[in-house]
Amino acid sequence: MRRLSRVCTSESHPIYGKFMASLSDVIFEWDEADYSRLCDAKRSYLKQQGISQPSVRAVKKAITKDELSRHCRKKTRGVELTTIQLIEELLLKLGTATDSVGVPLFNEDMTTIWEEQKKHVPCIQDPPGMCLYTITGYIMKVGVRLPVYRCSRGTTSLESFHLHLARFIPGTSASDVHFQAYLLEGLSRWNQARERAAVQQQQCKDLRTKI
């Protein structure tokens, strides 16, 4: 997603946000059971607020991005018949999109960039049989018990890891043994730092929920 976004004119382009949101939608899909449970909780909340028969559209609109990320798991759609096809349809749809003064969304030939990145689509699929979510707790929302998830998947974290990986090795003259030692030490420190950050983030969310 970040590689494809680099060919956009700028992040301030009016269509940039729509493009990135649509790109995420064609790569991932929400778990149906989690999403249905959250919709039930939001529907009950709207009824509590005086809306006797909230429509499906009103329920979906009332769900925030934070609620989705906290209470719903998402998974990749697959490769050939879904992800690649949907991305190509999106790029074709927005390939000639411009803002009100004629500035195009893409400042380069997106088709050429996409052909280079298409081969990486299998790499971003969820590993089969591997659980990427951990339940950190449960909360009650208008009588509906919702799990609170923490996901190990994260583009920002992964890209940051690739950036720092080269910095684990202090020089180019290390022996094979020292190279492995530097690498293992760096990986250990990285994992510890991510675990501490995840715990602190969850504590902040729990505190906001209590408030």
Please, is 67 exposed, middle or buried when counting C-beta atoms within 10 Å of its C-beta (0-12, 13-18, 19+)? middle
pLDDT at residue 151 is higher than 80: yes
For the stretch 31-72, pLDDT in tens is 999 999 999 999 999 999 888 888 999 999 999 989 999 999
Distance CA 116, CA 134 (A): 34
72: closest CA among 34, 40, 43, 39? 34
Torsion, Cα 93 96 102 103, to 10 degrees, reads: 90
Distance CA 172, CA 168 (A): 11
Mean pLDDT of the chain: 83
Query: Is residue 95 within 8 Å of residue 110, measured between CB atoms?
Result: yes
Reported pTM: 0.65
Distance CA 108, CA 1 (A): 16
Q: Render the burial of 7-16: b for 16+ CB within 10 Å, e for the rest.
A: ebbeeebebb
Distance CA 185, CA 168 (A): 8
Percent of the residues in the chain that have a pLDDT greater than 70, as a whole number = 86
The whole-number average pLDDT for the span 96-123 is: 86
Q: What is the pLDDT of residue 95?
A: 86
